[in-house]
Structure 1
Amino acid sequence: MTIQQIKYFLVLAKELHFWNTAEKVFISQSSLSRQIQALEDELQIQLFERDKRNVKLTNAGKFLQEQWREEIKEFDQIIRQAKKIDEGKAGTISITYPGSIAYEFLPKFLEVLSNNLPDLKIELTEPIDENHEKLLLNFQTDIAFSRDKIKNVNIDSQKLYSEPICLVVPKNHRLNKKNLTGLENEKFIISGLHQTTFFASLLRSWFSKNGIEPKTIIESDFGGMIINLVSKGLGISILPLSFKSAQAENVEFIELEEKIDLYINWRKKELNNTIKKVVEYSKFIGKK
């Protein structure tokens, strides 16, 4: 029994005329008769009562017509969706990302995907840094944005762009681009320096290079929360420039010489064309 035989059956069940059906399905009447007979023989069910003048569905034929009509419709929809996926236009992909790109790069990226791949469903997750590699290799995510390159023989990475890290201070704070003295006396609201994340490592390196032992009063990995606390005058922080797009009130960003990168990571030898297209769109946004 083939899908094509079922489709022939459904057209004949509707037309109840071999000649008309043969014309609609573009085969000869004799070929149609053989296909229907082969279907009946395999199922060991009589589907039609027929004589020289009339074709009529049996009760078993009516039952299968009702069942198969919906299943073939669903089957055709699945095939159309599979073709879209093959062409890179639809499906579902999972993306993990660091919170620092949520205000600038990520919205632009999602807007481009929405405009160019409108049928694509996207699942977003913000894990801790160490999980990006594991999630990719376990097929729990398809694309991982990260601040450092994932070094694994089974993962491809591409640097998208670099941006400065910034001192984040309340407006009218004494610190400015020309005066960064006395940082050791400031109260810092930053990621925990004991962590093994890339950004924590970058902060440790920056403080060490500048001979500063920071007075950390609040530890947090949530940039939005940190900016809100800085705006209330509770302390200062260091964050990537991307957070400036949050447009928080009573906050100023002072760019430092240190830069931080953004990478896109995906599995090597990826067969899903949708993922390949999404990677290309991310490179396009990164260049801009």
Structure 2
Amino acid sequence: MFTFDQLAGFIAVAEELHFGRAAERLNMTQPPLSRQIQKLEKIIGAELLERDNRKVQLTNAGKTFLEEARRLMALAERAPVSARRIASGRSGVLRIGFTAASGFSILGPLLEEIAAIIPDVDVDLQELVTGDQISRLMTGELDLGLARPPFDRETFDSHLLYQEALVLAVPAGHPLTHLARDIGPKDFKDEPLIMHSPIQARYFYDLVVRTLPIQHGNVVHTVSQVLTMVSLVAAKRGVAFVPHSATLLGIKGVEFLPLPEGGGEQVELHAIWSRRITNPALSRLLRDFEFAME
């Protein structure tokens, strides 16, 4: 039977795709880590990693085993923690994933609501993009996610938390800030554009290209985080379409302009959770969840 040390070693190599970095992360040297993986593969009876002098890759068996390994490690880590919390009079822990943008908008008020409903439950926060939240909700590593659509509504239940408009972030003093009228698509069609990544920020990318007349030839930077976009605008690298909550960042050298009415869909943030609830703390929260979120 394999050990948890072997599972931890495999997970580290699978995530780093580099034995040296994985060994450093585990505070060990590379040779014993390599032997751990070899023993694990022998016990399982399948090759989990393809490695040569240049790269390390997961095999198909390795990809499948990685999900189960994470699930086992999460259960192993949760068991003693839960026992200690029960023994000390606390009823558990609620693990919540959140996007970076929700961190400077709704996260604070939401945590206050959660604390009011389940004050005896500790909250573990993890900043993750929506795709990673969904993966961890499915493996049981998260209980609740603050995420963007789309998501599988047969697998997940949800509650709409927040809607906001897109705005145009421009450098302070930009000519568009001096117009004595509402801006329109023609006003920003030739501006250098800081754009959302179509991979790491797929939701925002799809929303913007679906609802606004984007000139892709004007894109000068592609980034994944709203904070980075606004910082680049402040550096006068271009303009960017960001959610209205970005105005709360307080970054100097940036002004935010409303888009033409009907010029874009609302940005949505949902609370999502697996329909197969296993955490009693989440069940307890959801009994009053809708009332707290209204």
TM-score category of the 2 structures, normalised to the smaller one: 0.5 to 0.7
Q: Residues 61-83 of structure 1, C-alpha deviation per residue, up to 9 Å, x if partnerless?
A: xxxxxxxxxxxxxx8973564xx
- Structure 2 residue aligned with 1:78: 86
Does structure 2 retain, via aligned residues, the 8 Å contact 1:96–1:144? Answer: yes
After TM superposition, list the pairs within 5 Å mapping 1:1-288 onto structure 2: 78-79=86-87, 81=89, 84-85=90-91, 91-176=92-177, 178-180=182-184, 181-193=186-198, 197-207=202-212, 210=213, 212-213=215-216, 215-256=218-259, 257=262, 258=264, 259-279=266-286, 283-284=290-291, 286-287=293-294
- Cα 1:273–1:255 shift into 2, 3 Å: farther
Q: Given residue 170 of structure 1, which amino acid in structure 2 is its aligned partner? A: P
- Superposed displacement of residue 201, structure 1: 1.1
Q: Given residue 182 of structure 2, which amino acid in structure 1 is its aligned partner? A: K
TM-score, normalization by structure 2: 0.61
Q: Residues 185-220 of structure 1, C-alpha deviation per residue, up to 9 Å, x if partnerless?
A: 11111212466722111122134xx26335111111
Gaps of 5+ in 1: 1-74, 86-90
CA distance in 2, matches of 1:286, 1:192: 30
Q: Given residue 178 of structure 1, which amino acid in structure 2 is its aligned partner? A: D
Residue 122 of structure 1 aligns to a residue whose secondary structure is: strand
CA distance in 1, matches of 2:290, 2:123: 18
CA distance in 2, matches of 1:132, 1:214: 32
Percent identical pairs in the alignment equals: 20
CA distance in 2, matches of 1:226, 1:280: 38
Does structure 1 retain, via aligned residues, the 8 Å contact 2:231–2:251? Answer: yes
CA distance in 2, matches of 1:236, 1:77: 49
- Cα 1:132–1:222 shift into 2, 3 Å: same
- Cα 1:196–1:216 shift into 2, 3 Å: same
CA distance in 2, matches of 1:77, 1:126: 24
- Cα 1:265–1:76 shift into 2, 3 Å: closer
CA distance in 2, matches of 1:77, 1:221: 37
CA distance in 1, matches of 2:232, 2:165: 21
Gaps of 5+ in 2: 1-82
CA distance in 2, matches of 1:76, 1:163: 41
Query: Once structures 1 and 2 are overlaid, which stretch shifts more, 217-226 or 125-134?
Result: 125-134
Does structure 1 retain, via aligned residues, the 8 Å contact 2:200–2:224? Answer: no
- Cα 1:125–1:77 shift into 2, 3 Å: closer
Query: Once structures 1 and 2 are overlaid, which stretch shifts more, 191-200 or 263-272?
Result: 191-200
CA RMSD of aligned residues (A): 2.8
Q: Which has the larger radius of gyration?
A: 1
CA distance in 2, matches of 1:284, 1:232: 42
CA distance in 2, matches of 1:76, 1:265: 28
Q: Given residue 188 of structure 1, which amino acid in structure 2 is its aligned partner? A: L
CA distance in 2, matches of 1:76, 1:98: 30
- Superposed displacement of residue 161, structure 1: 2.5
Aligned pairs, number: 204
- Superposed displacement of residue 103, structure 1: 0.9
- Superposed displacement of residue 171, structure 1: 2.1
